[in-house]
A and B are shown apart, each in its own frame.
Chain A
C-alpha cells in the first residue's frame, strides 16, 4: 500500500516569494492534516480536512497561508508571501474515519526561506 506522498521534498525560496506544497493521502483516507514543524519543536496543526471540508483551520495564518482539497483527495498548501519564520518542515498526514484511525505521515516538505 502506497504511503502519504508529498512534494517537493525540499524547497529554498527568498522571502516574499510564494511556494506550494502538494500532498496525496493514502487511498480512501477521508481525513487529511497539514502540520508545520519548526526545528526543535513538535508539529503544529495548520489545517484539518474531512473529505473536502475544513474541520479546523484555527491556527492557519490566513493572511499568507491557504490550503485546499477540492475533490476530497489530494491537497495543496500555499504560502504567499513567505517570511523567514516560515522555514520549517510541512508534514501531511491522513487517516481513515472509523476503527482503524491510525494517522500516517508523509516524509515532509522542507522549506527554507532566505
Chain B
C-alpha cells in the first residue's frame, strides 16, 4: 500500500521569498511522483514529475522538486514566490499498480 503525507496544510510567504512545500510518501514499489497545482475554481495542472531519472526535477513557473529516496521525500521549492503562486498544491504518488494516491493538499498564500 502507498500513502502520501503533505506535512503542511497551509503555507504563508511574502512575495519574493522562497517557498517550501513538504511531501513524504510510502510505497512498496518505485513510484512516480508528481506535484500538481490547483488555482481557485480551476482544474489540476501538472507542475512537475519524477520518474526515476534525475533526482532534481525542474517544472513550470520556476518550481523544482528533489527526490530523496533515503528520506522518502519529494519536497517542492521555488526561490522567489509570486502573487500568482497562491493556490492549492497536491503531491501525488503513482506506484506500479497505477493506483494514484493524493496528499491532502497544501494551501499557499502569498503576502504582498
Contacts and interface: CB of A to CB of B under 8 A. Distances in A.
A43 B94 contact: no
Contacts, number: 49
A101 B103 CA distance: 18
B92 A103 contact: yes
Interface of A, helix, strand, loop or mixed by DSSP: strand
A50 B100 contact: no
A55 B100 contact: no
17 contacts: A31-B98, A33-B100, A42-B102, A42-B105, A43-B102, A44-B102, A48-B99, A50-B98, A55-B99, A97-B98, A101-B98, A103-B46, A103-B94, A104-B46, A105-B36, A106-B43, A107-B42
Interface of B: 32, 34, 36, 41-46, 49, 51, 90, 92, 94, 98-100, 102-105
